Amino acid sequence: MVTAFIALGANLGDAVAAIRQAVVCLNALPLSVVKKTSSLYKTAPLETLPGHAPGGDYINAVLEMQTQLPAPMLLHSMQQIERAAGRERPHSNAPRTLDLDLLLYGDGRIDSAQLTVPHPRMWQRAFVLVPLSEIAPERVGTAQLGAVKNQQIERVER
């Protein structure tokens, strides 16, 4: 079994329901079980592209799971869950019904055209680091949290 950490986010439709349903779907994957899920957090979108409506605030969380799925298969399963939730990708950083990002896969490093682990921008994002530190404080250092302390994030539900 490998310990994987997945970031969940949504800002279209019923974001809270989408996050909850994604946790259920991830827990139902073969050879996998969700061990911990962070509180839900609200954050503003990182950026709005010119000419595009921003969508609302995001609801974010991070979960820890144990899995025997190889990382590419886990990623494929995550993308299927996103599609089932109505995820579209019209442009980079578009508002979304569900976004699942594989943050960490054991202590492994993966650098392929499809997948980079650890997630390359996770250390720059409070909406990843704060919920991750809640469920796995040993994975996030004080300096890393300090680097994102000016990003607004609000716990909305335990």
Catalytic residues: 87, 96, 99, 101
Q: HEC states along the chain?
A: CEEEEEEEEECCCCHHHHHHHHHHHHHCCCCEEEEEECCEEEECCCCCCCCCCCCCCEEEEEEEEEECCCHHHHHHHHHHHHHHCCCCCCCCCCCCCCEEEEEEECCCCEECCCCEECCCCHHHCHHHHHHHHHHCHHHCCHHHHHHCCCCCCEEEEC
